[in-house]
Structure 1
Amino acid sequence: MKGNTITTGGNIPLPGQQRPSTIILTQTRRFGIDIGSYMNALRAAESIDFPQHAKLYDLFEDILMDPHLSSVINKRKSAILCSVIEYRRGGKPDEKINEQLRSPWFLRFLGDAFDAIPQGNTLVQFYRDKKTGWLNYIFIPRKHYDPVRKLILKRQHDITGIPWDEFDDLLFIGEPRSLGELAKAAPWVIYKRNSTADWAQFAEIFGMPMRKYTYDPDDESALEQLKENDANQGSASSWFLPDGCNMDLVESGNKTGSSDLYKSLVDTCNSEISKLFLGNTLTTEAGTKGSQALGTVHGKVEERIAQSDRKFILNLLNYEMTDIFLHLGINTSGGEFCFAEPKMIDPTTKMNLFTQASSLGLEISKKQMYDELGLECPENEKDTIKRPQASSFLPQTDAIEEEEKRNALSEKKPPEKKKGGFRNWWKSFFVKAPEAGNHGAPLEW
């Protein structure tokens, strides 16, 4: 059986199917779960010798219908799916391998690989499509393999199966006995679902005004007439009491409000689920104690979790998938997979960088500049832009320095004497006497 492909199907063969399916699928059992069914599924999955995961994964499929749980998982998964992964050899991207990484199968594979974190593990089988030449893979249902004994189970409740070493290009992701993060989230989803059901029943009963009827106990026809009239007035709570009888609704005194009790329990369950997968609550819900500083701290915690998920994916690609890639004709030796960091620069900043580079005398590629600014490059133009002349829009350094020197000299020049005035005329009336250093005639006295 070495080299065969694992196939899945139902009890009835599909049209055109020539061989029986390796795995016979069973419909997922949904709803009707409580804490008792959760504990039974958990004990069956944790069995040492013959673990049974069917009940647990049916429960996982059920709780994933919860909107809050699915949203926080998708939020964490989107950090992987929205990132660009590329293969570099010698520091340069390898376009042949990156072409495979941009294909739809790789995006689906990243999602299934990440699901090993919330669901415990993932098993896939790779193959190359003979018609298109693209790589592809088959996802093995988690209920149909035993990760501890490494068996492929034909039916989900089997305890014996086919050793998966007999199949080529199988990749197991995760730990054999790991149950995943969903095993921790399941009790909170169950409590939340039951509380919401009680809340809905409370709203149905007490959300509308109740009708109270009193009748004469001696008049039997009066009761029947009241019931008939009540049925014609629509759905609402109705009470039929004989004269002299009374009925009071006594609420518990240790709670602030009837509806607040259910809402508080639902919010608590959502909060615990958010902390389990995202490490915080402020990035998913707006609380009364929210602030920008607190939101920044919670955002950093979430970013660290995203970095951990990225390392998980890179370790999978760089270490565990190298033999599979080589067997399928893709040589990944001498290089590594990495996340391409996006350049989050706005067009104004890019234009300033190009202007500064040009002022320093650096040659700029026209094609790169047009691509970065999102403009269409005209044809028949030179590929580089040299430093512009002095008459261009760039400031002239020499002219600026000359202007600064003239301003400095004008500030050091002493102020001119004021002309006119009696004091100045009186001082100029007398001639200044010669001094010893002058060569005038000596005085006789």
Structure 2
Amino acid sequence: MVTTTRIVGPDGQPFALADLKEPQTSRTEQLRNEWQGHPSRGLTPSRLAAILVDAEQGSLVAQSELFEDMEERDGHLASEMLKRRGAVIELPWDIVPPSSPFPKEKAAAKQLKELLAEIPGFDELLFDTTDAIGKGYTNLEIEWHQVEGFWLPASVTHRPQSWFQIYRGYREEIRLRDGTADGEPLQPFGWIRHIHKAKSGLLARASLFRVLVWPYLFKNYAVGDLAEFLEIYGIPMRLGKYPPGSSKEDKLTLLRALSELGHNAAGIIPAGMELEFLDAATGDPKAYQAMIDWCERTQSKMILGGTLTSQADGKSSTNALGNVHNEVRKDIRNGDAKQVAATLTRDLIYPIALFNGLTDSLRRSPRMFFPVEETGDIETYSAALPTFVSMGMKISRQWAQERVGIPEPETDETDLLQAPAPARPLGLPVADVAAASAQMSNQPQDPPAKMTGQLDQAVSPALAGWVGQIRDLASQAESLEQLRDGLFALLPDLSLDDYAAAMRVGLAAAALAGHYEILREAGGA
């Protein structure tokens, strides 16, 4: 928990935490009373060019309002943007400590993740942050309050892009419009300021919608022409004739009759006037549809990197091409997630950690992380990693857990899987296993274990001779039948004298061990 009421801001100047309780826009009443201008109404190429030039010169109001209209009135564009923004929202997120963390930093990251769960509407906050993907930038205003001694956002509110302007100093800076030429600098730690560039250059020209605005305009023309064509398609041309000397009222009556005949199939005209029906209106709407399709494909390419993840034409669309386009879409999603994570780390995670005494610098602050890398096949990694480790490769355990999608356990978790005890290797004498077990447990060997070792040593010479002869026979045999015949031929040559002597010793040792156990139990009883 923070122990001071004054914090040093990004500009190096101290300020009081109590000042954060009042949002900056609470003092700008004129912005809250503004109404949208909807510049898309009657939009023409010349009008659009003027709006874009004004934005380059620092006036973002008309361009921002146009971008809002585009997303509201173009269903295809809105659908594609929801796909791109939703791809980031659906990713799991985590709060991780900085690189090479100390135990205190690990604990701070864990506590910070718990504090974030208390922020109301955190998912909506993520969604509003991605609004910058299409419009270039977005600003979310933070209102702070204290909850049981912890400083947390009481609300995070999305503010329209038209409320802001660009101040050009050594670096471009987004400021709040206050009626002056330079604008009002945004309050430190009072905003989440996310800039999402679609291309390099000036901020006013770097938004994705800036590229999409021309296809939007051309599509509107094509849709309007198509609607007008469909309104008259199939309706016969009607020609009215009025006699010389007809008054203006008579001409208007004839015109109304022509209109009623076209839609109501009924009408009246004065005597002496004539109606003539010509051929029905004909034409081909494919030209308008071709323009609409071109505009929508261009929008899909710019937003998602391809067209086969949004619509199929039934000709060139294949499963293989769809998978390729989907991989491009994943690359775009990963790039968006990294930019959003960097902004939230700087403008949300770090302030919460700083105000509550969990960090003292942005460099060592916990950070937001979107695990965008797809996990690998567990079976493949389980087979490959032991081989690499045996070759001397140094592999981080955290890296391996991220690759297979197994999260790092908490430090206080006790119910953890354990590796099984190593089995006795084949061919290892029983005495060696008993000796190793006794040595590991720091317990002296009991008499049966000692006798087992003596028996193994006594039998080893005879067994070694047999095993050696059988190994040589197996290496020379070319078939199972030849090996079988060789074993039959080898059996009469084997001597059992040494083996019989060893057995006598073993049986005597076993009998003495049995007597020892009986005497020990009787003594214990």
In the superposition, the TM-score normalised over structure 2's length comes to 0.54
Secondary structure of 1:172 counterpart: strand
Tell me: CA distance 1:6–1:384, structure 2 relative to 1, closer, same or farther (3 Å). closer
Q: Could you report, residue by residue, the CA deviation over 1:18-51 in whole angstroms, capped at 9, with x for unpaired residues?
A: x77374431112223222222111111101xxx1
2:350 and 2:365 in contact (8 A); partners too: no
Cα shift at 1:71: 0.9
Cα shift at 1:68: 0.7
- Counterpart position of 2:514: none
Distance in structure 1 (CA, Å) of the matches to 2:255 and 2:178:
62
Distance in structure 1 (CA, Å) of the matches to 2:281 and 2:132:
50
- Counterpart position of 2:333: 306
Structure 1 spans left out of the alignment, 5+ residues: 10-18, 252-256, 354-381, 388-407, 415-445
Tell me: CA distance 1:318–1:283, structure 2 relative to 1, closer, same or farther (3 Å). same
Cα shift at 1:319: 4.8
Q: Could you report, residue by residue, the CA deviation over 1:92-136 in whole angstroms, capped at 9, with x for unpaired residues?
A: 794432234444433223223222231121223334333586423
1:85 and 1:101 in contact (8 A); partners too: no
Distance in structure 1 (CA, Å) of the matches to 2:53 and 2:346:
33
- Counterpart position of 1:190: 217
| 2:146 pairs with 1:130 | yes
Distance in structure 1 (CA, Å) of the matches to 2:62 and 2:303:
23
| 2:183 pairs with 1:164 | no
Tell me: CA distance 1:247–1:217, structure 2 relative to 1, closer, same or farther (3 Å). farther
1:125 and 1:170 in contact (8 A); partners too: yes
Distance in structure 1 (CA, Å) of the matches to 2:480 and 2:53:
92
Q: Could you report, residue by residue, the CA deviation over 1:226-277 in whole angstroms, capped at 9, with x for unpaired residues?
A: 9659727735799x998898966897xxxxx621011111111101111111
Tell me: CA distance 1:410–1:317, structure 2 relative to 1, closer, same or farther (3 Å). farther
- Counterpart position of 1:401: none
Equivalent position amino acid for 1:98 in 2:
K
Distance in structure 2 (CA, Å) of the matches to 1:237 and 1:412:
109
Cα shift at 1:84: 1.4
- Counterpart position of 2:178: 154
Match of 2:159 among 137, 140, 145: 140
Tell me: CA distance 1:412–1:327, structure 2 relative to 1, closer, same or farther (3 Å). closer
Equivalent position amino acid for 1:337 in 2:
M
1:73 and 1:277 in contact (8 A); partners too: yes
1:215 and 1:242 in contact (8 A); partners too: yes
Equivalent position amino acid for 1:200 in 2:
A
Structure 2 spans left out of the alignment, 5+ residues: 1-14, 383-414, 421-478, 486-525
Q: Could you report, residue by residue, the CA deviation over 1:353-408 in whole angstroms, capped at 9, with x for unpaired residues?
A: 9xxxxxxxxxxxxxxxxxxxxxxxxxxxx998999xxxxxxxxxxxxxxxxxxxx9
1:80 and 1:310 in contact (8 A); partners too: yes
| 2:85 pairs with 1:69 | no
Tell me: CA distance 1:303–1:410, structure 2 relative to 1, closer, same or farther (3 Å). same
**Structure 1 segment 84-123 matched on structure 2, within 5 A:** 84-89=92-97, 90=101, 94-102=109-117, 103-123=119-139
Distance in structure 2 (CA, Å) of the matches to 1:223 and 1:170:
63
Distance in structure 2 (CA, Å) of the matches to 1:52 and 1:171:
22
| 2:368 pairs with 1:337 | yes
Distance in structure 2 (CA, Å) of the matches to 1:411 and 1:236:
105
1:123 and 1:142 in contact (8 A); partners too: yes
Percent identity, aligned pairs only?
A: 20
Equivalent position amino acid for 1:163 in 2:
P
Cα shift at 1:161: 3.5
Equivalent position amino acid for 2:23 in 1:
I
Equivalent position amino acid for 1:159 in 2:
A
2:349 and 2:367 in contact (8 A); partners too: no
Equivalent position amino acid for 2:186 in 1:
W
Equivalent position amino acid for 2:309 in 1:
T
Secondary structure of 1:173 counterpart: strand
**Structure 1 segment 280-359 matched on structure 2, within 5 A:** 280-287=306-313, 288-319=315-346, 321=348, 323-329=350-356, 331=358, 333=364, 335-340=366-371
Match of 2:63 among 17, 32, 56: 56
Secondary structure of 2:156 counterpart: strand
Distance in structure 2 (CA, Å) of the matches to 1:383 and 1:272:
52
In the superposition, the TM-score normalised over structure 1's length comes to 0.62
Aligned residues: 341
Cα shift at 1:327: 3.7
Q: Could you report, residue by residue, the CA deviation over 1:34-79 in whole angstroms, capped at 9, with x for unpaired residues?
A: 22222111111101xxx11111111111111111111111100111
Cα shift at 1:195: 1.2
Structure (1 or 2) with the greater helix fraction? 2
Match of 1:6 among 9, 14, 23: 23
